[in-house]
Structure 1
Amino acid sequence: MGGVLQVLSMFGSVLGFIFLTLCIASGLYYISEVVEEHTEPTRRFLTRTIWAIELILLLLVIFDKFPFKLSLFAMGSHLLYYQNLKKFPYISLTSITFLSSCIVVVINHYLWFKYFNTTEIPPQFRYDPNYIAPRKATFSQVSSFFAICIWFIPFALFVSLSAGDYVLPTSVEQSKKTDEVTTEMLETEGKKLRGRTVGLARVVINGLRKYIYSTLALFGIQVQRDYDELGI
């Protein structure tokens, strides 16, 4: 094949990746807005989903002979994720529960990826001609397991939880401390912010968008900013 076709293929791949990223970001932004308006139904949904995944992991141990210790660790991980729902949708990015959840997500992914990727024959069966290796899971089975039992809850929490720095308190005691800030925002923006939360996903997306706009400005490209930095 010619070099032009190869360059075209690379250009198409980059363009496809950019469009895919924009689609995912737009979807996250929309889902985050929906969750902000329906926090209590979202909390109930996530709670029931966590217990459903716990049951799935237990069934995998019983019927599919999944490793007991690794499955137990995954079940414990979801109990840790559940702790984030106690103050849902508010979250402190420096809290022990949130930081532990982030670490556990990475460990969970690594351990299960290592488990499904292991192809070595156990030492005791290495020279046994009658040894039958266990059937390897297919790509669809592995991807479904990761999507439902490993990634779904952390991803849903990321989209659903709200960053504490952007949350205006509703209690009387806390409101006294933020009256001046609230009044100034109401006067300048003309929006009712009390009792509203900003999703963590929206905070991240707006931060990235602000960084992109700043980078473009360095090259003399001015882009009209038609959004509020708070994402409201």
Structure 2
Amino acid sequence: MAMQILFVTLAIAAALYYLAEIIEEYTVMTRKIVRVMLISSVVVYFGLWIFEGFPFTLVGIGLFTNVVEFGLLRTFPFIELTSPNFILTVVLVFVNHYFAFQYFSDVYHSFTEVLSYFTLCLWLIPFTFFISLSASDNVLPSTMQPLLSKSDDHDVLSHYMIKGKKKRSVLLTVFEGCKDLVVPSRSKRF
């Protein structure tokens, strides 16, 4: 049993890594897919309200969450963790879960229906945004980058070369130091 759990855990980790790599490679296509997912979620919410009689508060909070997530999509793949849209999205996901648990504890639905609701309406889109948080690390600088303020030059290349460099990770610095100890290289002289 322990080996099966370990195997499933490693399979999920590999799948998440693979999805993150695909999202990093195809950010424009990912943006289009997330947009279609958001529109589909809106359609599902209206269908649940009209055909299944879900309460308007549950549907309204879900629709408002989708509107806020459309705001995150405007700057995709550049998602700032401190932006009001991102913080409001996280808060609304928790609020949406609370109302969904309240509703499903009062009204009986089969387990597959509840799982389908949670997967399609509550988990799929935030999970996609969560996986795509690292996608902006490898994207070339562009004018869509929200880090530019009005006082900065709008010359993207100079901004990237001067102010936009990421801090190097500690692990990368350690590995490069080890490489220099093992295989010394000549320094370039100009």
**Bucket of the pairwise TM-score, normalised by the shorter protein:** 0.7 to 0.9
Q: Which amino acid aligns with 2:91?
A: I
DSSP 3-state at the match of 2:109: coil
Residue 85 (structure 1) shift: 1.0
Q: Which amino acid aligns with 1:138?
A: S
Select 1:95's aligned residue among 60, 83, 92.
Answer: 83
Mapped to 2, the partners of 1:80 and 1:181 lie a distance apart of 28
What is the RMSD of the two structures over their aligned residues, measured on CA atoms?
2.6
Task: Verify the 8 A CA contact 1:31 1:159 in the aligned structure 2.
Answer: yes
1:91–1:163 CA contact under 8 A, matched in 2 = no
Query: 1:58 & 1:180 partners in 2: Cα distance?
Result: 44
Identify the range of structure 1 (168-177 vs 99-108) with the bigger mean alpha-carbon deviation.
Answer: 168-177
Matched pairs, number:
157
Q: 1:173 to 1:43 in 2, by over 3 A?
A: same
Structure with bigger gyration radius: 1
The residue identity in structure 2 corresponding to 1:150 is L
Mapping 1:18-33, distance limit 5 Å: 18-33=6-21
1:104 — aligned with what? 92
Please report how far the alpha carbon of residue 181 of structure 1 lies from its aligned counterpart in structure 2 after TM superposition: 7.0
1:157 paired with 2:129, answer yes
With over 3 angstroms needed to count, the CA separation of the structure-2 counterparts of 1:52 and 1:179, relative to structure 1, is: closer
Name the amino acid aligned to 1:98: F
1:84 aligns with 2:45: no
Instruction: Tell me how far 1:18 sits from its aligned partner.
Output: 3.0
Distance 1:92 1:57 in 2: 27
1:174 alignment partner, one of 159, 163, 186: 159
What TM-score do the two structures reach when normalised by structure 1? 0.60
- Normalising to structure 2: TM-score of the pair? 0.73
Q: Percent identity?
A: 35
Q: Which residue matches 1:148? A: 120
What 5-or-longer segments of structure 1 have no aligned partner? 1-11, 120-135, 190-232
3-state SS in 2 of match to 1:91:
coil
For the 8 Å contact 2:42–2:66, the answer to whether it is kept is yes
Please say if residues 61 and 71 of structure 1, whose CA atoms lie closer than 8 Å, have aligned partners that are also in contact. Answer: yes
Amino acid at match of 1:149: C
Q: Which runs of 4+ in 1 moved over 4 A?
A: 163-168, 178-182
Q: Taking structure 1 as reference, are residues 179 and 164 closer, same or farther at Cα in structure 2, changes over 3 Å only?
A: closer
Which among 30, 36, 47 is matched to residue 48 of structure 1? 36
The C-alpha deviation readout for 1:91-137, integer Å capped at 9, x for no partner, is 11121111111111112112101210126xxxxxxxxxxxxxxxx21
Structure 2 residue matching 1:162: 3-state secondary structure: helix
Equivalent AA in structure 1 for residue 162 of structure 2: K
Which structure 2 residues correspond to residues 130-141 of structure 1 after superposition, within 5 A?
136-141=108-113
